[in-house]
Amino acid sequence: MRRQFTRCAIATALLITNGACWQLRAEEPLTVDEAINEALANHPAIKAGAARIDQARAAHDAVWEMYAPQLTAFGGLQRNEVSGSTITTASTGTGGTPTTIAQGFNQNDNRLMAGANVEEFLFDFGSFPAQRRSTDAAHRAQRNALETQRLDVALNVKRAYVGVLRVSRLVGYNRETVERRESRLAEITTATTSAKRSHDLLAANADLANAKLNLSRSESDYTNTEAKLLESIGQPTRLTRKLVDDVTLKPISLTLEQAIQRSLSVRPELDQAQATIDAEEARVEAIGASYLPRVSAFLGLSNLNGIGSSDLDRLTVFSGGISVAIPTSRLISGARLEQEQAAVAEAKARKLEVEQSIAIGVSRSYAALFEAVDRVRVTQDLAAKALASWNETQERYRRQKATILESTEAYGLLYGARVSFIDAAYDAKITEAELERAVGQNF
């Protein structure tokens, strides 16, 4: 099968040679690699992915903020009012009659109050390290997500690039067909008028009309495919450079099993899935540790000054120590922990799903490429036979041993065979790009 692949690739290279794209200025050709590099530099999806990486990195760095001291400052005016009475009992001499004296009092003062408290987190029995591991894994997942996005952007560029080449080739072929039909119509028009020639003239006009319709359709398709290429690159303006029209297929040295194993070792989706698992497992640890005490150190300073008629002297109070916060939420419910444990199970299942999807995708793309190669070989052979038949019919028509209908039918077969061959050759190139994307790297 590999020898067949190589022969077909060589034949394709010989028959589909370098050609100019329709309506493109003569400048330095734009290679597919240059188009991909431009897309990776300009495409909005890549820029969005890079922004998500920055967000994840910032979230990872922000975990350190819990070690920032918490400062609380306070101040204000305090007024105190005290009122009451005292009762004094006294006696005069031995056996004298006791005397009771009642005395009331009312006292008030104003105080200026100011101070500050500082609290510093010390440790929480593993919650902080677990949060750091979780955000670090989330950052790693976003980096792998960007690599996946880069592979998708590159594939879209290749598809659109080959699509423009295909339609450009069809535009050229349809234009050539229109010229042939116009030449045939002029030849018949100048011939001797007869019933047969009148019929031939009608058929030639119909053939020319169909050729022009095909040309118009292919030109419209070119506009659409060019727009897709520009969108895949992230370029808002029209193409101003030719494309390199080369559909030579690369030889494949990997067996299907080797291709699958390589994809499972290099695809960034799997690294992203594993990073997601690591992040979820770290969150489980963080939530579990959040049910344990949180230890902090605190330091306080407060100052009281009397104002007005107050007799209060200045009072300064320093305080400090260790505080321990003991959560009680675990006694009520463990729903948060159960929710995160379920998220871990889901992440692991998704990784298995990604592995299966990758293996199936490689198998399909591998088989599709060799099927595409066979299609190129078959359509190439059909186009060669159709060309020989049309040449033979043309020779017979010139000797007036074939009718215009036979000539038209022969060219119709040739046209269809060549279009099928063009489609097959460019489809094979797209299928090759899809296999490279499935494997995760170029051959």
Summarize pLDDT for 24-75 with one digit per residue, the tens. 445 689 999 999 999 999 899 999 999 999 999 999 999 998 889 999 998 8
Label residue 17 by pLDDT band (50, 70, 90).
Answer: very low
Above 90 in pLDDT, residue 184?
no
State residue 199's pLDDT score. 75
pLDDT one-digit tens code per residue, 209-242? 999 999 999 999 999 999 999 999 987 677 778 8
Q: Which domains does the chain have, with CATH numbers?
A: 2-67+126-291+335-439 (1.20.1600.10)
Query: By CB neighbour count within 10 A (0-12 exposed, 13-18 middle, 19+ buried), where does 279 fall?
Result: buried
Nearest to 172 by CA among 218, 225, 124, 235: 218
CB 276 within 8 A of CB 350: yes
Label residue 403 by pLDDT band (50, 70, 90).
Answer: confident
What is the mean predicted confidence (pLDDT) over 130-145? 95
Is the pLDDT higher at 282 or at 238?
282
Pure H helices in 234-334: 256-266, 268-290, 329-332
- Asked whether the CA dihedral 225, 228, 230, 233 is positive or negative, the reply is negative
pLDDT one-digit tens code per residue, 160-181? 999 999 999 999 999 999 998 8
Label residue 136 by pLDDT band (50, 70, 90).
Answer: very high
- How wide is the angle at C-alpha 317 spanned by C-alphas 314 and 322, nearest 5°? 175
In the sheet with 98-123, reading across from the earlier edge strand, the strands are: 70-91, 98-123, 294-307, 315-325
Query: By CB neighbour count within 10 A (0-12 exposed, 13-18 middle, 19+ buried), where does 21 fall?
Result: buried
State residue 193's pLDDT score. 58
Phi, psi of 92 (to 5 degrees): -110, 105
Residue 427 burial (CB count, 10 A): 19
